[in-house]
């Protein structure tokens, strides 16, 4: 039926999918300078053509609405639609960033309360909701670390410590901020090697970036000692809070000794992510660092919400206006609808689900670190290495079973890393189904390895030649012909 065609290919001259209402106003022509010389070249199609086109395009994609998404290190969970509806309410969606503050007291109240709820959840004193994303928050945090040292006339601290298992954005943000990143080795369980840490600490260290539980989903048991050592050396501790699921209502980075952190509202707090945003990466700091936070920080003064803009040390604005307010509204609605009583259940179920999968598959997949994990864990590929079936093959084969592939070949600690984070929103039935599929694939790898090595078969495109795709990307439809 030609559903693979572009919408431009089904265009028929003169076909329309709209009618404009009769105008009561007389026509007025624009000056010639504002008129185009030729038509914009838009497809001319009916409403039904448009509906079919976008519906068919959506079938080609994979999303959380379509199937299970066990993507480690990235918290891809279901986000309740009601929070989106709330953010879309006209009172929120139609306010203007230049409106006088006395006409937007409602949204300022939401900002103030969201800042304070994130403080309570994380144990850090003050938040700014200004940054747009996790990596953006990291950059802000590092700028604060820099500003802090410089405010004390300490200009020697040019290095940031980043463990080798860290998310790639950590060393990247350090570089963008003008720091040199210094790698510390992880122990085999992904925890920071305290001995290695001691060997790099000195008066050139500005701080350390950590996530806890770490990338292998293991809780950093030496965190208090690490915090003490870094502080004694004059450095600050940055917490990468992109995925806060595993610790919600259980432990707080502020209590572990962290000075600065960001939180990805678009991972933990009810905004979908992937596909380019919008996101939000609020940054929280200790009381001592609060003056450096980017604006606007909202405050309640005598029953009126206002922007706390009298802070001379502030980094200023880091994004437009208030940041992505729709994302903040969704987080606010999500936190309040769960309430203090139920937030800890998010942590409990995400940890339970991860451990259940890990224990149910470790006879067939190689588990490098035994013991209770938090929200995620890593296999080092299939246990039976004689089949030649790799982690890449397993990930591709999962697509045939309508499961999104997990994160693979990260962290770099193992050769065949396959990282699974099931999250708390999946039912036991879905998780059992996933376990059954993983077991089937392990059996296929044994019986018919070629079947797995050539997967996927049921997707729109088959296995890509990744080297060719990177070297000679075809980015225009016309180039396919």
Q: Which stretch binds ligand PLP (CB under 6 A): 128-136, 411-419, 456-464, 468-476?
A: 128-136
d(CA 3, CA 11): 13
In angstroms, give the least distance from the CB of 198 to ligand PLP: 25
By the rule CB under 6 A, 167 interacts with ligand PLP: yes
Q: Which of 211, 353 has the CB closer to ligand PLP?
A: 211
By the rule CB under 6 A, 243 interacts with ligand PLP: yes
By the rule CB under 6 A, 130 interacts with ligand PLP: no
380: nearest Cα among 390, 369, 368: 368
By the rule CB under 6 A, 124 interacts with ligand PLP: no
By the rule CB under 6 A, 73 interacts with ligand PLP: yes
168: nearest Cα among 206, 129, 211, 231: 211
Among 130, 264, 271, 324, binds ligand PLP (CB under 6 A): 264
In angstroms, give the least distance from the CB of 281 to ligand PLP: 6
Cα end-to-end span (Å), the chain: 19
By the rule CB under 6 A, 76 interacts with ligand PLP: no
d(CA 345, CA 357): 18
What is the number of the residue whose Cβ is closest to ligand PLP? 134
- CA 476 vs. chain centroid, Å, equals 28
Q: Which of 263, 442 has the CB closer to ligand PLP?
A: 263
CB atoms within 10 A of CB 472: 9
Binders of ligand PLP in range 280-339 (CB under 6 A) = 281
Three-state SS for 305?
Answer: strand
In angstroms, give the least distance from the CB of 203 to ligand PLP: 28
In angstroms, give the least distance from the CB of 239 to ligand PLP: 10
d(CA 425, CA 358): 17
Among 169, 245, 407, 425, binds ligand PLP (CB under 6 A): 169
- DSSP annotation string for 73-124: TS------HHHHHHHTSHHHHT--TTS-GGG-HHHHHHHHHHHHHHHHHHT-
DSSP-H helix ranges across 186-263? 194-200, 223-232, 253-256
Size of the residue set binding ligand PLP (CB under 6 A): 14
Among 220, 240, 308, 380, binds ligand PLP (CB under 6 A): 240
- The residues with which 418 forms a beta bridge, in sequence order, are 379, 408
d(CA 105, CA 95): 11
Q: Which of 121, 233 has the CB closer to ligand PLP?
A: 121
For residue 390, what are the contacts with CB-CB under 8 A and spacing of at least 6? 381, 416
Residue with tokens 């299970």: 68
Among 246, 279, 291, 323, binds ligand PLP (CB under 6 A): 279
Q: Which of 170, 425 has the CB closer to ligand PLP?
A: 170
Among 107, 121, 133, 346, binds ligand PLP (CB under 6 A): 133
Cβ atoms of 416 and 387 within 8 Å: the answer is: no
d(CA 130, CA 103): 20
In angstroms, give the least distance from the CB of 75 to ligand PLP: 7
Among 211, 214, 338, 391, binds ligand PLP (CB under 6 A): 211
By the rule CB under 6 A, 77 interacts with ligand PLP: no
285: nearest Cα among 266, 305, 313: 313
| E strands in 113-243 | 126-128, 159-163, 180-184, 205-210, 236-241
Among 71, 74, 369, 442, binds ligand PLP (CB under 6 A): 74
Q: Which of 75, 187 has the CB closer to ligand PLP?
A: 75
Q: Which stretch binds ligand PLP (CB under 6 A): 118-126, 157-165, 236-244, 444-452?
A: 236-244
Measured in degrees and rounded to the nearest 5, phi and psi for residue 418 equal -140, 110
Q: Which of 187, 243 has the CB closer to ligand PLP?
A: 243
By the rule CB under 6 A, 444 interacts with ligand PLP: no
Residues in touch with ligand PLP (CB under 6 A): 73-74, 133-135, 167, 169, 211, 240, 242-243, 264, 279, 281
């Amino acid at each position: 039926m030609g559903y693979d065609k572009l919408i431009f290919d089904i265009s028929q001259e003169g076909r329309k999918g709209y009618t404009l209402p009769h105008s009561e106003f007389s026509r007025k022509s624009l000056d010639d300078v504002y008129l185009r010389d030729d038509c914009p070249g838009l497809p001319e199609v009916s409403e039904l053509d448009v509906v079919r086109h976008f519906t068919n395009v959506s079938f080609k994609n994979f999303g959380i609405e379509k199937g299970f998404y066990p993507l480690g290190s990235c918290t891809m969970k279901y986000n309740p639609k009601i929070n989106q509806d709330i953010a879309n309410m006209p009172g929120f969606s139609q306010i203007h960033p230049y409106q006088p503050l006395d006409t937007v007291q409602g949204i300022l109240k939401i900002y103030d309360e969201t800042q304070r709820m994130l403080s309570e959840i994380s144990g850090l004193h003050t938040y700014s909701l200004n940054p747009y994303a996790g990596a953006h928050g990291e950059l802000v945090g590092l700028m604060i670390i820099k500003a802090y040292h410089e405010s004390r006339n300490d200009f020697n601290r040019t290095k940031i410590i980043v463990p080798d298992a860290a998310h790639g954005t950590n060393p990247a943000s350090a570089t963008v901020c003008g720091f040199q990143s210094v790698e510390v080795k992880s122990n085999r369980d992904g925890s920071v090697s305290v001995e290695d840490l001691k060997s790099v600490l000195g008066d050139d260290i500005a701080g350390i970036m950590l996530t806890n539980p770490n990338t292998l989903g293991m809780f950093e048991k030496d965190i208090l000692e690490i915090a003490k050592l870094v502080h004694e050396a004059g450095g600050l501790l940055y917490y990468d809070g992109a995925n806060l699921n595993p610790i919600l209502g259980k432990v707080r980075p502020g209590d572990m000794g962290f000075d600065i952190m960001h939180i990805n509202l678009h991972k933990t707090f009810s905004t979908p992510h992937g596909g380019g945003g919008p996101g939000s990466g609020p940054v929280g700091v200790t009381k001592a660092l609060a003056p450096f936070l980017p604006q606007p920080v909202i405050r309640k003064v005598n029953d009126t919400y206002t922007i706390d803009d009298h802070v001379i040390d502030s980094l200023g604005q880091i994004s437009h206006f208030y940041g992505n307010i729709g994302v903040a509204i969704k987080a606010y609605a999500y936190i309040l609808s769960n309430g203090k009583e139920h937030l800890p259940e998010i942590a409990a179920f995400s940890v339970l689900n991860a451990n259940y999968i890990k224990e149910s598959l470790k006879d067939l997949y190689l588990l490098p670190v035994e013991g209770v994990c938090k929200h995620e864990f890593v296999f080092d590929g299939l246990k039976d290495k004689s089949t030649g079936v790799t982690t890449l093959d397993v990930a591709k084969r999962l697509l045939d079973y309508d499961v999104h592939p997990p994160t693979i070949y990260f962290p770099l600690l193992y050769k065949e890393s396959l990282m699974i984070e099931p999250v708390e929103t999946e039912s036991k039935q879905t998780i059992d189904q996933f376990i059954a599929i993983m077991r089937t694939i392990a059996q296929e790898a044994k019986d018919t390895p070629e079947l797995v090595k050539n997967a996927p078969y049921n997707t729109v495109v088959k296995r890509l030649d990744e080297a060719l795709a990177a070297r000679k990307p075809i980015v225009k439809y016309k180039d396919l012909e």
